[in-house]
Amino acid sequence: MLAPSVIAADKPAVKAAAPAIKPDMEAGRQINGVCAACHGDSGQGGKKGEYPRLAGQQVKYLAEQLHKFKARKRINIPMFPYTEERELPDEDIVHIAAYLSAIKLETDLPVFKDTDDALTRLLAVEKVLNIPRSEGDVEAGARLYKTECASCHGVKGMGKRDAPLLAGQYTSYLKRQIDKFVKGERIHDEDVKDRSKETMNLLKPDEIRDILAFLTTLDD
């Protein structure tokens, strides 16, 4: 009979779980210097939605999307050079996701003092984002949003963990992502669980229009 120590030696060693990486906000701020060229210093996005808002986005969602870009599971060619391992290691994803998620954008311009200089005013304006109203039936959109979207994205569109913030996001960006879901160029999380659902294809174009119109009222 083999001794217990010999038997134990034959068993494969259990790999210890890697310690969780603690978010470093200063590191995140420095990493954001690269992101800011397109997404803005305050993560407010740019070019009317060509580059989406990242500020205040769910931290888990941000991290997951960056990992998908790295693994080429989400196709966005402009993002690929910035998500190579040498450019964005996993620990940096933790830092930048936490940093961007913590940024709060206002929806109204602040009241400035006469003594506030131009730089102070400029920095304050950069942290203001109010999405213009889009066309559609807001009341119908509210009803549809409640039944089709709120369970994941939250009643006020602020997102939940791995479901992104929708309120305060550029309408043009949301529409572009919906088009990708419809064409199968991007897979909706609900479709990953059940490919028979094809979530966005269950909605008519005018229903999508109305939901988007409703979302533009949530940051008023």
* 4-27: pLDDT as tens digits: 555 555 555 555 556 788 999 999
The structure's pTM equals 0.84
Coil/strand/helix, residue 156: coil
Exposed e or buried b per residue across 181-216, where buried means at least 16 C-beta atoms within 10 angstroms of its C-beta: bbeeebebebbeeeeeebbbeebeeebbbbbbbbbb
Tokens representing 28? 């995140």
Q: Which domains does the chain have, with CATH numbers?
A: 25-108+119-125 (1.10.760.10), 132-215 (1.10.760.10)
206 and 144 in contact (C-beta within 8 Å)? no
User: What are phi and psi for residue 12, nearest 5 degrees?
Assistant: -65, 140
154 and 51 in contact (C-beta within 8 Å)? no
Residue 195 has pLDDT above 60, yes or no: no
Tokens representing 212? 């988007």
